[in-house]
Amino acid sequence: MKTDSRPIPDRPEVSANGNMPGNQFDPQHKSQFPKKLATSLALVFLGAGIATGLGYEFHQVTQGPTPVQAADNPVPSVAPSNSTALAAAATNPNFIESIVNQVGPAVVRIDSSRTVATQMPDAFNDPFFRQFFGNQVPQQPAERTERGVGSGFIINGDGRIITNAHVVDGADTVKVTLKDGRSFDGKVLGEDTVTDVAVIQVAAKGLPTVPVGNSDQLHPGEWAIAIGNPLGLDNTVTAGIVSATGRSSGQVGVPDKRVDFIQTDAAINPGNSGGPLLNAQGQVIGMNTAIIQGAQSIGFAIPINQVQQIADQLASKGKVDHAYLGIQMVTLTPDVKKSLNSDPNSGLSVSEDHGVLVARVMPDSPADKAGLRAGDVIQQIGDQPVTEAAQVQSIVEGTSLSSRLRIQLQRNGQTETITVQPGAFPVESQDQQG
């Protein structure tokens, strides 16, 4: 189980940790961009409670398609309206208790473990060191076991469970425990580090399940209820509101995760990873994933519509095919333009105030083969104008690998159109990301 997630720059067209596929982002290249663009955050992925330092300088967009949900598994729509939810809250001050009683039995605790090799520090093998200490050099076991705790929720009665990929990444064993005390050995059907979604199967029938809402209909100010196992405290319930929707992975500080997050002030903590975020009707609207370290009342969840789309593919074929171009991008503004042009080390000269600047093109990538260059400013893809790197990411994520993207751009003051066929996002790059 991987207990350390390592996100990277702001929103690249990179692998799942923000590293360019097969070619980790080079700090020497990074130093070429203006320091004024640099920001840092610390994000805690909640399954293992490990704080991760994040540095990012520009919109490095991880471009990959949001897979299309199978036609026979449509996302259920939210039946009650917001006014109905408010009325329910007003007439039943204990409506959260009712929701917890309904949904709580389908929320599970996930204990995972993995065995890793232990290496003796090189200094202990130094002949000079051993000359003085001889056989008194401390001995370490050849292997050690790493354990982590997270949450999940049951989506069908035949034992299919959804959680975060970082909760079970690399796990040798997975144990699923229900609220009623029953426990089962779990099998990971698939995990997708790009979206941080994983699917687990247990051998059981007739299990309680969660009702599913429609995250596309969410609005700030709606109720948000989190259930999970923070810090090992099983079946913990917290409540708040939806603070915002559509928070880009760049804004959150994990550009490698191709997700537009739900932000909530419902208290979530390490161990909540993979647990459900519910609306006032008790429907799952998101999967709790991360918090910003040091901040209060700022948590993030993956919208349930995207979770289901990814989970369907993981359950059916064990993986998700994400489209990939192979570029790093910057959202242009007048200030960004000024910073780039005034920095002699940026290596770029920009004349446009708006658009999406191609900061880097990865060798042998689909973009490279199609003829995109660093310094190009993307202004339109197909018939859709683009002004932000996140828009480009979204478009590419909605593109199949067999499609072709017609990209209109500015190059040296001239308008050009280049057609690119996305490639499959390299799997090995996903393994490097956390």
Residues designated catalytic: 166, 196, 273
CB 171 within 8 A of CB 188: yes
Q: Counting Cβ atoms within 10 Å, is residue 424 exposed (0-12), middle (13-18) or buried (19+)?
A: middle
224: Cα within 13 Å, side-chain hemisphere: 32
Token look-up 């067209």 returns 13
Give the residue from 226, 254, 258, 249 showing the smallest Cα distance to 100.
Answer: 226
CB 379 within 8 A of CB 339: no
CB 269 within 8 A of CB 258: no
Phi, psi for 85 (deg, rounded to 5):
-65, -40
CB 257 within 8 A of CB 12: no
Q: What share of the chain is helix, strand, coil (3-state, %, to 5)?
A: 25, 35, 45
Residue 389 host element (H or E): helix 389-397
Q: Measured between alpha carbons, how far is residue 428 from residues 17, 25, 54, 172, 369 in Å?
A: 11, 14, 21, 20, 20
Give the residue from 188, 249, 255, 246 showing the smallest Cα distance to 16.
Answer: 255
The maximal CA–CA distance of the chain, rounded, in angstroms, is 79
Q: How many residues belong to the chain?
A: 434
Alpha carbon distance 434, 430 (integer Å): 8
Burial letters 305-327, b for 16+ CB under 10 A, else e: bbbbbbbbbbbeeeebbbbbbbb
Q: Please list the residues that pair with 112 across neighbouring strands.
A: 148, 174
